[in-house]
C-alpha cells in the first residue's frame, strides 16, 4: 500500500541519491583522468557495500525472530531509536554538504589515483556502505511498524531505481537538479516521519517492559476513529500516528518534532544561496586526459579482491544468523507415547526452538509443551499418529518445561521437568477445563432461555397481526421478533434443526421462495414485503410461532457442548459478514443492518460471560475488542433513523467499506478467543 511504501520510497530516494552522487563523481573523475582501468575497483567497493547492507538486514530480521515476544518488542524499539538518530544525522549532514559534495570528492579521488587499489575500493565502499546500512536499518523499522514487508520493500526499490536514474542523468549532464533545495524539502519530510518512528519505538520499548507507562494513555480515539478509513490508514502508515497513544509516545513525538524541526529550519536559513551539485561529465572525444593512465592491478588481485569483499559480509551474516537460531539443545528427536513421554528431552537454550516429535506408541496422541506447575501450554500438536514425526515450534525463556502426551484412549503422561535459565517472557496459554466453562455456559443458557421466552411472545404477536389483517403493524412486529432471534447467537446450528425452520433461507430449495419447505422469518418477510395477502401468510406466521414455542421447550434439553461457547464469539459475526452484510438474507425488508446490529448485541452478551476467563489470559484482548465493538456500533447507529434502517444495497460505497472493514477488524481481533479458551486434555 502507498501509505506503507512512501516513507521507504523517500529514504530509498535520498540515500540512493547520496550514494549515487558519490559513485557518479568517482566514476566521472576516473574517466576524465584517463584511468578507466581503475573503475573495477570502484565497483568492487560498491558491491561490497551492497553485500554488507543486505547482510545487515538479514541479521536484523533473523536475530529478532529468535527472540521472545517481549524481547522482540524491546529489540525493535531500541533499533527504532537508533534509526531515528541515524536519519536525523543524515538529514543535517546532507543539508550542509550538498553544495560542496562534488568538489570535495573530486579532490579526494585525484589524490587517491596516486595510491594503491585498496584506496578506491575503500572510498566507494565507505561512501555507499554508510548509506546502505542506514537504509537497511530504516527499512527494517518501517517494515516492522507496517507489520508487512512488501510495501516498504517496494517503496524502497522504487526510490533506489529513481535515484539511480537521476544519478545517471547527472553523470551524462542530462539533468540539472538543485540539490540544496531537494535535500531541504525531503529532509523536512523525513524529520516528520522520523518523529513517528520515534513514537513507535517508544511504544515498543514500553511493551517490552523497558520503559514504564505502557497503560497510561494520552488519548484513546479507537472508539470514534474508523481504523479502516483512508485517512486513518494514511496517518498510521506514513506518520505512525495511531488512534491510541501513551503520554510517553506523545511527548517523544512532539518533543522531537519541535526541537529537530526548529534546528533544521534555522540551519536552512543560515545556508547562503542555493548551489547545485552535478556530477562531472565524461570527457568528450579527443579531450586530453588530466592525468596519466594508471595501469590495472595484477590479474590475480583483480579476481580475488572483489570475491573476498563481497563474500566476507555474507559469510559473517550467515554465521550470526546461525548462532541466533540454536537447534534444540540435545539435537535429538523427542519421543511421544502413552508410557514414555518426552524421552530425549533435555533443557534447551532460550529462544525459538524447533522440536521434532516422533510418536513411538500405538495410539494417536495429543502433545503439549507445558509448564508443569500451572499446566500453561507453550506449544501443541493435535493428532500425532503412530510412527509419524512432526515439528513443534515454540519460544523458550526462563522457566520450567515438560512434555505431556495424551493418547486417544489412555491417561495423560507427563515427562520429567527441566529448568531453563534466564528471564521469563515466553508466551503460554493457561488451559481451561469443562469445569472452568461451566459458569459461563450456565449464564449464557439463562440469557438464551430468557430471549426465547421473549421470542415466543413476539412471534405470537406477529401471527395475530397477520390473522387480523394488520400488515403494516405486522411488518414492524416482524423486525422486532427477528432481531430478538438474531441476538441469541444462532450460529452454525446452535439450535439444531429449529434454526433452519425458524430462520432458514430459500437457497438450494427446488422452488426457491415458493417452495413448500421455505418457512420461518424469511418466508413471512418475503410475503409481507411482496404484497402477499394476509390469508396467504396466516399459515406461515402460525408455523413460525409454533416453531419458536417448540424451540423454547426443547432448548433446556438440547446438547450445548461447553467447548462450543468460545467458538460462538467469532462465528456469530462471521455469519453476519457472510450473509447479512452481503444482503443474501434480505427478502425485501432491507433489514440486514438491523439484524447485524442484533448479532453484535449477541456477541457482546457472549463476551460478557467469557470475560472472567479471557481477562487473565489475554489482558490486552478485551479492551481492543471493546473498542472494535464501539466503533462498529457507531456505524450501525448511523444507519438507523427512528424505526427505519438503511438497506445494505443502498449504502454508499464508502459507508459499506467502513462497516465491512470494522466488522473484519473485530473478527480478526476475536480470532484468538477459541484458542485461548480451548478445552485441552492436558488441563
DSSP string, 546-585: HHHHHHHHHGGGS---GGGHHHHHHHHHHHHHHTGGGTTT
Q: For residue 186, with 0-12 CB atoms within 10 Å meaning exposed, 13-18 middle and 19 or more buried, which class applies?
A: middle
pTM of the full structure: 0.52
Report the distance separating Cα 568 and Cα 491, nearest Å. 7
The answer, yes or no, to whether residue 165 has pLDDT greater than 70, is yes
CA distance 266 to 653: 46
Phi, psi of 286 (to 5 degrees): 90, -5
First to last CA, the chain: 44
- The secondary element (H helix, E strand) that includes residue 391 is strand 389-396
For 404-448, the pLDDT digits (tens) are 998 887 788 899 999 988 777 677 888 888 889 999 999 999 999
Please provide the average confidence, as pLDDT, over all residues in the chain: 77
Confidence band of 611 (pLDDT split at 50, 70, 90): very high
- Residue 678: pLDDT over 70: yes
pLDDT of residue 340: 82
Rounded-to-integer distance, Cα 157 and Cα 237, Å? 17
557 pLDDT more than 50: yes
Greatest alpha-carbon pair distance for the chain in Å reads 110
Please give the grid coordinates belonging to residue 284. Answer: 568528450
Q: Is 488 in a helix, a strand, or coil?
A: coil
The per-residue pLDDT for range 507-517, each reduced to its tens digit, is 888 999 999 99
Provide the 10 A C-beta neighbour count for residue 251: 15
**Which is more confidently placed, 138 or 53?**
53
- Give the per-residue pLDDT at 591: 94
Task: Give the H/E segment covering residue 121.
Answer: helix 117-146
637: confidence class by pLDDT, cuts 50, 70, 90? very high
**Is the pLDDT confidence value at 277 over 50?**
no
pLDDT of residue 439: 93
What pLDDT is attached to residue 142? 64
* Tens digit of each residue's pLDDT (9 = 90 or more) over 24-40: 766 766 666 666 777 77
**Distance (Å, whole) CA 393 – CA 399:** 17
109 or 518, higher pLDDT = 518
Concatenating the DSSP letter of every residue in 264-329 gives HHHHHHHS-S-----PPPPPPTTPPPSS---PPPPHHHHHHHHHHHHHHHHHHHHHHHHHHSPPPT
Closest CA relative to residue 369, chosen from 422, 420, 411: 420
pLDDT (0 to 100) of residue 482: 96
Average the pLDDT over each of 160-169, 275-284, 469-478, 547-556 and give the range with the smallest value.
275-284
Predicted local confidence at residue 190, as pLDDT: 67
Question: Which comes out higher in pLDDT, residue 274 or 140?
Answer: 140
User: Which pLDDT belongs to residue 625?
Assistant: 94
> For 107-137, what is each residue's pLDDT tens digit?
655 555 554 555 566 666 665 666 666 667 6
Question: Which has more pLDDT, 138 or 519?
Answer: 519
The residue count of the chain comes to 683
Q: What is the pLDDT of residue 275?
A: 43
- pLDDT > 90 in the chain, percent: 27
Closest CA to 320 of 81, 64, 149, 128: 64
Tens digit of each residue's pLDDT (9 = 90 or more) over 170-211 = 666 655 656 567 667 766 776 777 787 788 778 778 776 678
Of the two residues 646 and 353, the one the predictor is more confident about is 646
| pLDDT the model gives residue 428 | 80
CA distance 578 to 599: 12
DSSP 160-215: HHHHHHHHHHHHTT-----HHHHHHHHHHHHHHHHHHHHHHHHHHHHHTTSSS-TT
Q: How far apart are CA 359 and CA 378, in angstroms?
A: 19
pLDDT at residue 661 tops 80: yes
Tell whether the model's pLDDT for residue 250 goes beyond 70. yes
Report percent pLDDT > 70 for the chain: 66
Q: Residue 343: is its pLDDT beyond 70?
A: yes
Instruction: Determine the Cα–Cα distance for residues 477 and 396; give it in Å rounded to an integer.
Output: 58
Q: What is the pLDDT of residues 294-334, one digit of tens each?
A: 444 444 445 565 666 556 666 665 665 555 544 444 445 78
Task: Note the pLDDT tens digit of each residue in 361-410.
Answer: 888 888 999 998 888 888 888 888 888 888 888 888 888 999 999 888 77
The Cβ of residue 343 has, within 10 Å, a number of other Cβ atoms equal to 16
Question: Which pLDDT does position 173 carry in this prediction?
Answer: 61
- Long-range pairs for 112-118 at CB < 8 Å and ≥24 separation? 113/30, 113/33, 113/35, 113/38, 113/291, 113/294, 117/38, 117/41, 117/297, 117/301, 117/305
Which has the higher per-residue pLDDT, 308 or 44? 44
Amino acid at each position: 500500500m502507498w501509505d506503507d511504501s512512501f516513507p521507504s520510497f523517500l529514504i530509498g530516494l535520498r540515500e540512493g541519491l547520496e550514494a549515487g552522487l558519490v559513485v557518479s563523481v568517482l566514476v566521472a573523475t576516473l574517466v576524465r583522468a584517463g584511468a578507466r582501468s581503475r573503475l573495477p575497483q570502484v565497483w568492487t567497493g560498491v558491491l561490497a557495500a551492497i553485500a554488507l547492507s543486505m547482510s545487515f538486514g538479514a541479521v536484523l530480521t533473523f536475530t529478532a525472530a529468535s527472540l521472545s515476544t517481549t524481547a522482540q518488542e524491546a529489540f525493535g524499539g531500541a533499533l527504532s531509536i537508533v534509526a531515528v538518530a541515524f536519519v536525523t544525522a543524515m538529514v543535517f549532514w546532507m543539508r550542509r554538504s550538498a553544495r560542496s559534495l562534488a568538489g570535495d570528492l573530486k579532490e579526494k579521488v585525484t589524490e587517491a589515483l596516486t595510491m594503491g587499489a585498496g584506496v578506491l575500493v575503500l572510498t566507494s565502499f565507505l561512501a555507499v556502505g554508510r548509506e546502505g546500512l542506514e537504509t537497511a536499518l530504516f527499512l527494517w523499522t518501517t517494515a516492522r511498524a507496517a507489520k508487512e514487508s512488501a510495501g516498504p520493500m517496494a517503496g524502497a526499490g522504487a526510490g533506489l531505481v529513481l535515484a539511480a536514474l537521476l544519478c545517471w542523468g547527472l553523470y551524462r549532464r542530462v539533468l540539472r537538479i538543485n540539490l540544496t533545495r531537494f535535500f531541504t524539502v525531503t529532509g523536512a519530510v523525513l524529520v516528520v516521519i522520523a518523529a513517528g518512528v520515534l513514537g513507535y519505538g517508544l511504544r515498543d520499548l514500553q511493551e517490552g517492559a523497558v520503559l514504564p507507562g505502557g497503560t497510561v494513555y494520552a488519548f484513546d480515539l479507537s472508539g470514534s476513529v474508523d481504523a479502516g478509513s483512508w485517512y486513518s490508514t494514511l496517518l498510521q502508515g506514513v506518520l505512525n500516528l495511531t488512534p491510541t497513544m501513551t503520554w510517553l509516545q506523545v511527548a517523544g513525538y512532539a518533543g522531537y518534532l519541535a526541537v529537530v524541526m526548529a534546528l533544521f529550519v534555522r540551519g536552512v536559513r543560515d545556508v547562503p544561496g542555493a548551489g547545485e551539485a552535478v556530477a562531472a561529465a565524461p570527457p568528450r572525444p579527443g579531450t586530453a586526459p588530466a592525468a596519466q593512465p594508471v595501469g590495472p592491478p595484477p590479474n590475480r588481485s583483480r579476481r580475488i579482491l572483489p570475491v573476498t569483499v563481497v563474500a566476507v559480509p555474507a559469510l559473517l551474516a550467515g554465521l550470526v544468523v546461525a548462532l541466533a537460531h540454536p537447534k534444540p539443545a540435545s539435537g535429538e528427536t523427542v519421543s511421544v507415547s502413552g508410557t514414555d513421554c518426552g524421552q530425549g528431552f533435555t533443557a534447551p537454550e532460550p529462544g525459538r526452538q524447533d522440536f521434532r516429535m516422533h510418536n513411538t506408541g500405538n495410539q494417536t496422541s495429543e502433545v503439549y509443551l507445558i509448564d508443569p506447575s500451572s499446566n500453561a501450554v507453550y506449544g501443541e500438536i493435535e493428532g500425532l499418529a503412530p510412527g509419524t514425526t512432526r515439528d513443534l515450534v515454540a519460544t523458550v525463556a526462563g522457566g520450567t518445561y515438560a512434555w505431556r502426551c495424551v493418547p486417544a484412549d489412555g491417561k495423560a503422561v507427563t515427562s520429567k521437568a527441566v529448568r531453563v535459565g534466564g528471564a521469563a517472557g515466553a508466551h503460554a496459554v493457561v488451559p481451561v477445563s469443562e469445569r472452568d466453562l461451566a459458569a459461563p455456559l450456565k449464564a449464557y443458557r439463562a440469557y438464551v432461555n430468557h430471549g426465547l421466552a421473549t421470542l415466543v411472545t413476539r412471534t405470537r404477536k406477529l401471527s395475530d397481526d397477520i390473522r387480523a389483517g394488520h400488515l403494516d403493524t405486522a411488518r414492524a412486529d416482524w423486525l422486532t421478533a427477528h432481531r430478538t432471534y438474531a441476538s441469541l447467537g444462532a450460529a452454525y446450528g446452535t439450535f439444531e434443526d429449529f434454526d433452519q425452520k425458524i430462520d432458514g433461507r430459500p437457497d438450494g430449495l427446488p422452488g426457491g421462495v415458493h417452495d413448500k419447505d421455505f418457512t420461518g422469518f424469511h418466508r413471512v418477510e418475503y410475503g409481507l414485503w411482496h404484497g402477499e395477502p394476509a390469508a396467504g401468510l396466516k399459515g406461515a406466521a402460525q408455523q413460525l410461532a409454533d416453531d419458536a414455542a417448540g424451540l423454547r421447550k426443547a432448548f433446556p434439553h438440547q446438547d450445548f457442548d461447553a467447548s462450543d461457547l468460545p467458538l460462538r464469539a467469532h462465528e456469530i459475526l462471521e455469519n453476519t459478514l457472510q450473509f447479512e452484510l452481503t444482503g443474501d438474507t434480505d427478502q425485501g425488508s432491507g433489514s440486514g443492518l438491523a439484524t447485524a446490529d442484533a448479532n453484535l448485541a449477541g456477541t457482546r452478551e457472549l463476551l460478557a460471560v467469557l470475560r472472567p476467563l479471557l481477562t487473565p489470559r489475554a489482558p490486552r484482548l478485551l479492551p481492543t475488542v471493546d473498542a472494535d465493538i464501539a466503533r462498529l456500533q457507531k456505524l450501525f447507529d448511523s444507519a438507523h433513523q427512528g424505526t427505519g434502517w438503511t438497506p445494505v444495497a443502498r449504502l454508499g460505497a464508502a459507508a459499506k467499506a467502513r462497516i465491512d472493514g470494522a466488522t473484519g477488524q473485530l473478527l480478526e481481533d476475536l480470532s484468538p478467543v477459541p484458542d485461548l479458551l480451548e478445552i485441552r486434555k492436558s488441563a
